[in-house]
Structure 1
C-alpha cells in the first residue's frame, strides 16, 4: 500500500500546442498516440511501475506448495535435478524510466526515439530437497540497467477537425542486456551465482519490428480513440531464443471536466506468445526458467487524468491500470496493477 501511495505522488508532465485541450493526447499510458507539426521537437520522460504477485495456471490461482509438488521440472533429466519445480516466485516489481524524443521533419511524418532504464526485482521461496512442502527460505534477485532502444516513424494518414489517423512503424534495437546474473537459493541450500531467467533480463536480445495504427476523435467535451500495436521478433538472439510476439489492442474514452482537465478510462487487451528456443545457461527448478511458461492473454482497465498548463506549455497526466481478466501460459506470476506517468517538453 505504501508503494502505491508513493507512486501516486509522482507527477507526469507533457507538452501540448498552444490550444487548451487536455484531450490533445491519449491517456499517458498510450505510447505513440500523436504526431507533430513540421519543425516541432518534443523531449519526453515517463515513469512506469508494475506490481506482480499470485501465480496463475491458466485462469486459476496456484499456491507455492501445490506448484512445487505438481508442476513438472523441464530440466528433470539433467543431473541433480528434481522431478518437479522446487522454487516458486512470489512477487515481482518492475520500474521503468523512459526517455524519448519526437521530431517532425514535415507535416506528415514524425520521428520518435525512446530508451528505457529498467529495475527488476523478484521474490522467491525455495522448498527443501527434491520433494515435500517444507519451506527452506525466501530470497530475492535484482537486475537493473539500460533497456532496448526504440526508433519509430509516425505517418499521418488522415486528419480533420474532429479526427485523425496515423500509422506507426519502426524497430526495437537490442541495447538491453540478456546476460544479467544473480545469487539464488537452491533446494540443497546452496547459493550460486547464475544467469537470471528471462523476465529478469533487460532486453529481448533481438531486432524487433514494431507496427501500429492509431485513431482518435473528438465531439464536444468527449474524446475517444483506439490503437493496435504489435511487436514481432525478427530472429533468435545470440543466446538461442526469442521472446514471444506481442499484440495489443487498446481503446479509450475521455471527458472534459473543465477547459484544462479531462478524465479518461481505457481498456487494453494484450496477447503474448511463448518464448521460442531457450538460453542454455538458464536451467533451474523454477517456472521462470521454462520458455513454455510465458505469454497468454490479459485485459486491463485503466483510469487517468490529463491536465493542461497552457502558459508553461505543459500537460500533466497520470494513469492507473489493473487487470480484469488474465489467462496465462502458467504457472506464472500475474499482474496486480501498474501506473504510468511522464514528462515531455517542446523547446
Structure 2
C-alpha cells in the first residue's frame, strides 16, 4: 500500500529535522523542550560523565615557609593552619607532599632580621636558609619538584624585591644583576624551577643566559609574568617577615590592578626571553587575565591563590559563613576553568588528601 500523503509529509519533516532544516516540526527543533540541559545534571554519574574540568593533585603546588632552627614550628597568625617550619620539619612536609601525590612544593624563607641588609646579600650566600632547605629536601625526596622564589624582598632591610638607589627608587638593572646571582646560587643547590617574582624588566633573559652559560640547561624558569600590586599579599609578607620592613609600596614595578592588556605584553617579553612557564598573581580576582594569557600564548600557565585569598576563605569558613571543603574545591576548579595548568595553594595538602579519599 502506498503511503498516504500525510505520511510522506511526516517522513520528509523528520528527515529535514535530522539535517537541522528550518521547517522541522516545532517539537523537533533545537531549543526547549527538545533540548533540556537539566537531563545531563539529573544524576551524579551523568554529571561526572560530562564534566568539563577535573581537579587532581597534579594541579597543585604547595608553598612552604622555612625558618632557621631545629624542630621549630611557628604559626602564621593571619593564615590559620599555615606555619613556618624549620628545615627538618620542612623535609617531613615534603615527604608528606610526595606521599599524597603533589608534584612540587615552593619554598619561601623567613630570613633572620640580623641577616637582612640594603643589598639583600644573604640571597647570594650558597649556605642561606632556602639553599640548605633545597639540599635537605632533595636528599630525602629527590623526585619531588622544588620551586624557588627569585626576589630580594626576604633578604633586604627595606622589604623591596630589588635594590634601591640613593633616592629611594628601585634600580632595575642593578637588581637584575643581583637576581642572576641569586638564581645561580639556587640552581647550584638543586632547585628545579626558578620563579622570578620581582617584576624587573629583562630579568628572565638575563637569568636564562646565565643558566645556559653555567651548565644549568635543564633548570626551568616559571616567570611571575603578570604580578599585580595587590592588597592580597599582606599575610604572605608577614609570613616571610618582609611586611614590617617594607618602605613605601611596590607600585613602580608591580602591575596596576586596572590593567589587563598590559599583562599580555609582560608575558610576551618573558616568553621571548626564555620562560618555560608563566604565572599570574593574585589568582581568583584575576581569572580574566589567566584566561587571556592562556588563550594568547598556549604555554603552561599558573596562578597563585594568594595568602589573602586563603585567609579570607578560612576566616569565613571558621565563622560558619562558608562550607570550607566545597568553597575550596570550587575556587580551585575556577582556576582550571579559566585555563590554569596548575595552582599555588596553601590548601594543596588538604585538597590532595580529600581528592585521594574520593577514589
- Same fold judged by TM-score > 0.5? no
Q: Is the strand fraction higher in 1 or 2? A: 1
Query: What's the TM-score once normalised by structure 1's chain length?
Result: 0.29
In our comparison, the structure showing a higher alpha carbon Rg is: 2
Query: What's the TM-score once normalised by structure 2's chain length?
Result: 0.28
Q: Is the helix fraction higher in 1 or 2? A: 2
